[in-house]
Chain A
């Protein structure tokens, strides 16, 4: 097959497993997948994207989206039951590895091509599943259970589809990729957007880490969104560095708007935008705000996003006596995000561990001066930004004050922001991926 591909110069067909995809997005993963998929389609790729539940299956312009939920009926197999048993065991904290203890994925019932066509033709039918209501968060209450179910279902769908490469995103879908590889023998490309070491520094979930490790080990090629992430995969997961390639994320400049003229004499605003979780370092942002306000009380700090640290931060803001100067907006969507960027005078990415970090790119494309923690993948590609170590609250505060005080600095950072963005488009990412697809196809042929 791979030989045919190269001889005919036909682009490989991609089976992609995703977890988030617009409009169902909780964080950067969905945005990144979307940017990547759109760019791949522009390059003429044929992609089948399988997402968990709640998704309206559709087919257009080279992209087929299937919601794994539709395949509910096919999973009531022996294996699935065994799987559920295992999950129950996990809940009582027995050291059992989900889905990987199952040695018979090949016996999964397969969907025929006709069955899939039939599902696709059922016009935009959405199935509500008891465990996840449509208006709830993308990530359900029992995440591991959902993931395992998705992996089995999604993976088994692979047997009924025609494709050349499997491409999956993050631990949530690695299991599906492994099953799909076992079912079809097609090469597997695992794309790491974040690791458990980023999400929960010093306090991660072993099962999740196991998903990540097994996925990367089973993969023919691992894509890491930064050198920062590649290093974690090598050092913390023991993955062979030769099979990990760094592929920085991109941004579509066209989708970002131009800077609007700001009213002068208004209160300068400093923006944090992201999940308000420990990984993103909002607590450091707040402490820095406190330091800044001691010197200049005429500054407003915006914490935009939802997360488990919001309550703590509100309390801390009161404790520090800065509650009047810190604005918790909750999660922002669509235009509100754009507005936040346009209103702000300075953007801060305060992450403790950030595999990549798309928000600084969005901020730059809105011509905002950007301050980022060095513990981020995006700092590998950005030059015209200010950097600090996430724990160095004093330096962060000093940099914020500098940006707000020295207009020449702020202007220069805004002027040169585009220099950074031009070379990092999603089209570059897609071009790079195309090369990787061919590589894995060829080496899987050699292996065969």
Chain B
């Protein structure tokens, strides 16, 4: 019997408000609370609420045979608490069913591992605390922001005591091998890897409603059939995707909810498959070999690397600038400054600045609150300048206080 492992990513960024050059040094308010509120409620109605309802029903219908994993960013959980507590309750109820595993990630959904290992670990820790507060759970398996992975990341995560990590099933690393097995880290074999089957995952997440796709419309039967075919070479098929796939990226009228309504039953039929949680998979299924991945891989864009966030000079500058403030921010001991600085490390800000394929008008545009990547950069840099000024001011205050003592 070949298992199916579902993992859904749940994240909402704190978008910045239209922060103009003239605001620098004048306004300490960076976030677009109004828009963040509006978007959260919109997505709650289109996706979070209907999908959690459906998942709850599916667990009940299958007597708990249907199970899956969630990864929540810390900023998502905050927004849920602030804008739509009923969404948080819905997730809490699901988690209480015992059929849900929660994964570990960075609180601020950041790429901090790129610039500061310290900060990365602190954000993982903050996330751990938040998950404990909200769900009373302790994650055992890690997934890095945007499924970004490399051997180095695996090594560090292993040192933090995690048993497993999720990653994109990269063709470069897999070669002829199938992503549908459990693999081990080459240096630290006790760390197990679950690799995303990107073909089958993206059939649902990206292609489901695409009418020019040769396989459209995708029915539950057809998809179950593909899972059967993939099972010839594998023990666990990993379907990793954004939770917003359901109702937000693929709209209700595309039939995505109907598709999911029948999928668990179809897969469980005749005992061909079962559902498995990430921590179960890494403990119960044998690792068939080691997975070497020297370069960063992710689940974004054609390239499936980190170029979506860190390829053009604007993105690189923005990254360097923001992380250059880390020590200063931490030295102030000002919790508010630290919090707002960390919010600026959220990956989305850098994603909005991506100019890759910009001329063709691509998915980056769909998610961006900005007119262009340039506006994303300008807004971020204006905010950065203000934060820099605030830090300089507070440093002056500290100096003056010290001189008084």
**Which residues of A are interface residues toward B (Cβ below 8 A)?**
291, 295, 383-387, 394-395, 397-399, 401-402, 405-406, 408-409, 411-413, 416, 419-420
| Interface contact A409-B21, CB-CB below 8 Å | no
| Interface contact B21-A397, CB-CB below 8 Å | yes
By DSSP majority rule, is chain A's interface helix, strand, loop, or mixed?
helix
CA distance A171 to B381 in the complex (A): 47
| Interface contact B359-A408, CB-CB below 8 Å | no
Which B residues touch A413, using CB under 8 A?
374
CA distance A420 to B360 in the complex (A): 11
CA distance A190 to B372 in the complex (A): 34
| Interface contact B21-A402, CB-CB below 8 Å | yes
A-B CB contact pairs (8 Å), 16 listed: A295-B22, A383-B358, A383-B372, A384-B358, A386-B372, A386-B375, A395-B20, A397-B22, A398-B20, A398-B22, A399-B378, A402-B378, A408-B313, A409-B381, A413-B374, A420-B359
Contact of B317 with A by CB under 8 A: yes
**A124 to B: closest C-beta gap in Å:** 47
| Interface contact B355-A412, CB-CB below 8 Å | yes
CA distance A184 to B377 in the complex (A): 58
CA distance A394 to B22 in the complex (A): 8
Which B residues touch A402, using CB under 8 A?
21, 378, 381-382
Which chain B residue has the least Cβ–Cβ distance from A423?
B359
**A402 to B: closest C-beta gap in Å:** 4
Contact of B45 with A by CB under 8 A: no
The answer, among A384, A385, A386, A405, for a CB contact under 8 Å with B21, is A405
| Interface contact A295-B21, CB-CB below 8 Å | yes
| Interface contact A406-B372, CB-CB below 8 Å | no
Contact of B205 with A by CB under 8 A: no
Contact of B172 with A by CB under 8 A: no
Contact of B371 with A by CB under 8 A: yes
Interface flags, B196-227, vs A, CB<8A=1, else 0? 00000000000000000000000000000000
CA distance A87 to B20 in the complex (A): 53
CA distance A419 to B373 in the complex (A): 15
The answer, among A291, A387, A397, A398, for a CB contact under 8 Å with B372, is A387
Sample of 16 more A-B contacts, CB < 8 Å, known A385-B372, A401-B21, A412-B312: A384-B359, A387-B372, A395-B20, A397-B22, A398-B21, A399-B378, A402-B378, A402-B382, A406-B377, A408-B314, A408-B317, A408-B377, A412-B313, A412-B374, A419-B359, A420-B359
Which A residues touch B21, using CB under 8 A?
295, 397-398, 401-402, 405
Given contacts A383-B372, A402-B381, A406-B377, contact A416 B22 (CB under 8 A): no
Which B residues touch A397, using CB under 8 A?
21-22
Which chain B residue has the least Cβ–Cβ distance from A411?
B313
**Which residues of B are interface residues toward A (Cβ below 8 A)?**
20-22, 312-314, 317, 355, 358-359, 371-372, 374-375, 377-378, 381-382
Which A residues touch B358, using CB under 8 A?
383-384
CA distance A207 to B94 in the complex (A): 70
Given contacts A291-B22, A412-B355, contact A387 B381 (CB under 8 A): no
| Interface contact B381-A406, CB-CB below 8 Å | yes
Which B residues touch A409, using CB under 8 A?
314, 374, 377-378, 381
Question: Which 5 pairs from chain A and chain B are nearest by CB?
Answer: A398-B20, A398-B21, A401-B21, A402-B378, A408-B317
CA distance A405 to B371 in the complex (A): 20
Task: Name the residue in B314, B377, B378 with the highest tally of chain A Cβ atoms < 10 Å from its Cβ.
Answer: B378
Which chain B residue has the least Cβ–Cβ distance from A419?
B359
CA distance A398 to B20 in the complex (A): 6
Which B residues touch A412, using CB under 8 A?
312-314, 355, 374
CA distance A402 to B20 in the complex (A): 9
CA distance A402 to B371 in the complex (A): 15
**A404 to B: closest C-beta gap in Å:** 10
Given contacts A383-B372, A411-B313, A412-B313, contact A406 B22 (CB under 8 A): no
| Interface contact A387-B378, CB-CB below 8 Å | no
CA distance A416 to B312 in the complex (A): 11
| Interface contact A416-B355, CB-CB below 8 Å | yes
Which chain B residue has the least Cβ–Cβ distance from A403?
B378
Which A residues touch B312, using CB under 8 A?
412
CA distance A420 to B20 in the complex (A): 26
CA distance A104 to B400 in the complex (A): 92
CA distance A383 to B362 in the complex (A): 12
Which B residues touch A406, using CB under 8 A?
377-378, 381
CA distance A387 to B372 in the complex (A): 9
CA distance A413 to B314 in the complex (A): 11
CA distance A397 to B317 in the complex (A): 23
Which B residues touch A399, using CB under 8 A?
378
Which B residues touch A383, using CB under 8 A?
358-359, 372
Which B residues touch A419, using CB under 8 A?
359
CA distance A399 to B358 in the complex (A): 20
Which chain B residue has the least Cβ–Cβ distance from A379?
B371
CA distance A406 to B378 in the complex (A): 8
Which chain A residue has the least Cβ–Cβ distance from B318?
A408
**A418 to B: closest C-beta gap in Å:** 11
Which B residues touch A420, using CB under 8 A?
359
**A212 to B: closest C-beta gap in Å:** 31
Which chain A residue has the least Cβ–Cβ distance from B315?
A408
CA distance A377 to B154 in the complex (A): 51
Which chain B residue has the least Cβ–Cβ distance from A416?
B355
Which B residues touch A405, using CB under 8 A?
21
Which B residues touch A395, using CB under 8 A?
20
CA distance A384 to B312 in the complex (A): 14
Which B residues touch A291, using CB under 8 A?
22
**B275 to A: closest C-beta gap in Å:** 44
CA distance A8 to B117 in the complex (A): 72
Which B residues touch A385, using CB under 8 A?
372
Which B residues touch A408, using CB under 8 A?
313-314, 317, 377
CA distance A394 to B20 in the complex (A): 8
Which chain A residue has the least Cβ–Cβ distance from B360?
A383
CA distance A356 to B207 in the complex (A): 37
CA distance A360 to B326 in the complex (A): 40
CA distance A291 to B23 in the complex (A): 13
CA distance A295 to B371 in the complex (A): 25
Which chain B residue has the least Cβ–Cβ distance from A395?
B20
CA distance A134 to B377 in the complex (A): 51
CA distance A408 to B355 in the complex (A): 13
**B320 to A: closest C-beta gap in Å:** 10
Which chain A residue has the least Cβ–Cβ distance from B25?
A295
**B17 to A: closest C-beta gap in Å:** 13
Which chain A residue has the least Cβ–Cβ distance from B378?
A402
Which A residues touch B382, using CB under 8 A?
398, 402
Task: Name the residue in A295, A383, A395, A405 with the highest tally of chain B Cβ atoms < 10 Å from its Cβ.
Answer: A383
CA distance A232 to B358 in the complex (A): 28
Which A residues touch B317, using CB under 8 A?
408
Which chain A residue has the least Cβ–Cβ distance from B377?
A409
CA distance A322 to B317 in the complex (A): 34
CA distance A304 to B355 in the complex (A): 32
CA distance A183 to B20 in the complex (A): 59
Which A residues touch B377, using CB under 8 A?
406, 408-409
**B21 to A: closest C-beta gap in Å:** 4
